Amino acid sequence: MTCSDLQKQIDNLILNGERILIADLHEVSYVSSAGLRVFINTLKQLKKVGGDILLYNASPQTQEIFTLSGLLQVFRLFANREGILAAIRGEKPAPSLLSKEIRGISIQYVERQVSPGTLLPIGSQRKLPLSEYTEQDIVTMKAQDIPFSTGLATIGENFDDYKQFLGESVTINKNFYFYPAVKRPAVDFMLCPQGDSSLEYKFLHGFGFNGSYNYILTFDHPDRLIQLTELISAFFEIAKANMLGIVLLAESKGLWGMHLKNVPILENKPSNGREIFDSTNFAEWVNFPVEASDYNHVVIGVGIAIKDKNAEPPALQELLAKDHPFHLHGAVFAKEALNKNLEQFEQEMNRVMTDLEVYKVQHILGQTRFQNGMAGIIELKG
Amino acid sequence: MNQQGVFPAVTEILPDIAELVTAAARSCGMIDAHVAQLELAVDEACTNIIQYAYAGRDGGKIEILCEDDREDFLVAIRDNGVPFDQTQPTEPDLDSPIEERQIGGLGRFFMRKCVDDLTYLRENDHNVLILRKRIR
């Protein structure tokens, strides 16, 4: 096997979510410096995400190469497979971890006793279809009040200055991302330093929520991709509340995302008098996916899901589109492997927001697929 | 006895070169541990030729000639890339933490450790590298 074959196979395993790689070296007569480089790069990549590469069955000659290169202290070489399995068993996470299989999706989770969070509707969607928002419709929200939000929003002081930057937005643990509704948008964002309470967001409509995670979970399907719609219905079999705040962290295996191409304010109102979602205006107004995109990009999704809409007041029912049990916006980051150790969910999310480049913010549709990932769930009251 | 072959200078061909060299070394009675070391040294030498002597240039060739004189086994590796003397020592970084370690020079370091002698000649616009390894 050449080094590039090995690198390809390892890349595929990591992309598919594997974090502990075990390499049987018994048919390897020697490892060249190029081969070591593959192992070293793999180890560096995996260490960042809480993984490891474990080697066993190395011939004396191969072990000699590791010794000569000073890598015996860096790699974990085992005599046999049993040694590796024993080492992995010794490192299993604490037994407080619960697990459940829901329609083939394997979910592992921790449950925390915390009081429910609060869901806060912001503005109204009523002026959206005809693009009739004006300055009077702007709702100013204090960043400190909504650690999580989803909506059409931006930041700025004067309406005439910021109106052109209104667009799909998401707030992820007080970090605000927005994607101006223009022809060639680029994401702008504001990472909120801890303790900075003066920041304000300008919303046309949307919602925010606060609270602590009642559940942090990992999900995985060994055999096929999971659609967002079925993932969210599985969440309802873990959490008990009728309304859930969802914070999702996963690598996309096909994103279906949409966003507005114009700001729905009065001066942009369609001249034919029809709704922006009408077939005559749709293409001009909405960037709607015709196929999945953004494979293997890291996505952080924030939004809400409601199990029984009729049990909630109309103001909350309105937050979800007709026949849709959830409303999520997602920030799409660079391609990178994620650490899926659920104890490090928040740390990993912070790492993504601080280290990775962000490409867009979109409304995420239910066909969006994942292989595995993590989520934090906050049970909400109105 | 001697064995030889001419190969295109691409990394995909390294297993073929290894097969030629190891078969020749075994047929003259070299012990397995020495064969593996020789195989590694030849791999490193050819990888360096592809990367540095030809530096991505297409169409380069690597010639391999194996010989033995009862006590020693010799592999001559010939290429017509830019002058490139692999017998010059390098000092790889063997001590830094993995996150900071720069990988470089390890190939030549291995080569020197794995064979008993290395000789370099530049003749007729060709690099010739001769690896000598004791058979037993």
A221: helix, coil or strand?
A: coil
* A222: Cα within 13 Å, side-chain hemisphere: 3
Q: Do both A52 and A106 map to the same domain?
A: no
Domain that holds residue A158: 98-381
pLDDT at A279: 93
Claim: this prediction has a pTM higher than 0.80: no
The neighbouring-strand residues paired with A117 are A380
- Whether A30 sits inside 8 A of B103 (CB atoms) is no
Tell me the chain A residues in contact with residue B44 when contact means C-beta distances shorter than 8 Å. 32-33
Does A89 lie at the interface with B, CB-CB under 8 angstroms?
Answer: no
Q: Do both A153 and A285 map to the same domain?
A: yes
Tell me the chain B residues in contact with residue A33 when contact means C-beta distances shorter than 8 Å. 44, 47, 103, 106-107, 109-110
The neighbouring-strand residues paired with A176 are A171, A190
Per-residue DSSP letter, B117: E
Which residues are within 8 A (CB) of A130 and not within 5 positions of it... i.e. 6 or more apart?
A269, A270, A275, A276
Tell me the chain A residues in contact with residue B52 when contact means C-beta distances shorter than 8 Å. none
Q: What is the mean pLDDT of chain B?
A: 88
Of A30, A37, A47, the CB nearest to B39: A30
Q: Do both A122 and A85 map to the same domain?
A: no
- Whether A44 sits inside 8 A of B99 (CB atoms) is yes
CB A238 within 8 A of CB A231: no
Q: Do both A349 and A216 map to the same domain?
A: yes
Q: Do both A163 and A214 map to the same domain?
A: yes
pLDDT at A63: 85
- Whether A30 sits inside 8 A of B40 (CB atoms) is yes
Does A67 lie at the interface with B, CB-CB under 8 angstroms?
Answer: no
Best B21, B30, B40, B109 residue to mutate vs chain A (most A CBs within 10 Å): B40
Helix (H) or strand (E) holding B88: none
- Alpha-carbon span A195 to B122, nearest angstrom: 68
Helix (H) or strand (E) holding A85: helix A81-90
- B contact residues 60-99, partner A, Cβ 8 Å cutoff: 92, 94-95, 98-99
Q: Do both A19 and A54 map to the same domain?
A: yes
From B43's Cα to the closest Cα of chain A, the distance in A is 7
From B69's Cα to the closest Cα of chain A, the distance in A is 25
A40: helix, coil or strand?
A: helix
> What are the strands of the beta sheet with B72-79, ordered from one edge?
B2-8, B61-68, B72-79, B126-134, B117-123
pLDDT at A343: 85
Per-residue model confidence as pLDDT tens for chain B (136 residues): 578 999 999 988 999 999 999 999 999 999 888 898 999 999 999 999 998 999 878 899 999 999 998 889 999 999 999 999 998 877 777 776 665 665 567 888 888 889 999 999 999 999 999 999 999 8
- Alpha-carbon span A213 to A116, nearest angstrom: 9
Best A1, A28, A32 residue to mutate vs chain B (most B CBs within 10 Å): A32
- Whether A37 sits inside 8 A of B95 (CB atoms) is no
- Alpha-carbon span A279 to A7, nearest angstrom: 48
Binning chain B into helix, strand and coil, the percentages to the nearest 5 are: 35, 30, 35
Does B40 lie at the interface with A, CB-CB under 8 angstroms?
Answer: yes
- Alpha-carbon span B40 to A142, nearest angstrom: 64
Best A3, A7, A25, A30 residue to mutate vs chain B (most B CBs within 10 Å): A30
- Alpha-carbon span A165 to A159, nearest angstrom: 10
Q: Do both A80 and A117 map to the same domain?
A: no
ipTM at complex level: 0.81
Per-residue model confidence as pLDDT tens for chain A (382 residues): 788 889 999 999 988 888 889 999 988 888 888 888 899 889 988 888 888 899 998 888 888 888 888 787 788 888 888 888 887 777 655 547 888 999 999 999 998 888 899 999 999 999 999 999 999 999 999 888 889 999 999 998 999 999 999 999 999 998 899 999 887 888 877 776 555 667 889 999 999 999 999 999 999 998 999 999 999 999 999 999 999 999 999 999 999 999 999 999 999 999 999 999 999 999 999 999 889 999 999 999 999 999 999 999 998 999 998 888 999 999 999 999 998 888 889 999 999 998 999 999 999 999 999 999 999 999 998 7
Q: Do both A229 and A308 map to the same domain?
A: yes
Q: Do both A69 and A103 map to the same domain?
A: no
CB A53 within 8 A of CB A46: yes
Q: How many domains does chain A have?
A: 2
Phi, psi of B60 (to 5 degrees): -70, 155
**pLDDT tens column, A66-110:** 888 878 778 888 888 888 888 777 765 554 788 899 999 999 999
pLDDT at B98: 64
Does B112 lie at the interface with A, CB-CB under 8 angstroms?
Answer: no
- Boundary residue ending a domain (A71, A89, A107): A89
- Boundary residue ending a domain (A23, A58, A89): A89
Phi, psi of A344 (to 5 degrees): -110, 25
For A228, the token pair is 């967002």
> CATH code at A73?
3.30.750.24
Q: Do both A66 and A136 map to the same domain?
A: no
For B112, the token pair is 């020197």
Of B12, B39, B113, the CB nearest to A68: B113
- Whether A33 sits inside 8 A of B94 (CB atoms) is no
The residue in chain A having the minimum alpha-carbon distance to the alpha carbon of residue B41 is A32
Q: Do both A229 and A184 map to the same domain?
A: yes
The residue in chain B having the minimum alpha-carbon distance to the alpha carbon of residue A75 is B98
> CATH code at A327?
3.30.1330.80
- Boundary residue ending a domain (A89, A118, A141): A89
Q: Do both A275 and A146 map to the same domain?
A: yes
- Alpha-carbon span A153 to A170, nearest angstrom: 9
- Whether B110 sits inside 8 A of A2 (CB atoms) is no
pLDDT at A70: 78
The neighbouring-strand residues paired with A246 are A303, A377
Does B100 lie at the interface with A, CB-CB under 8 angstroms?
Answer: no
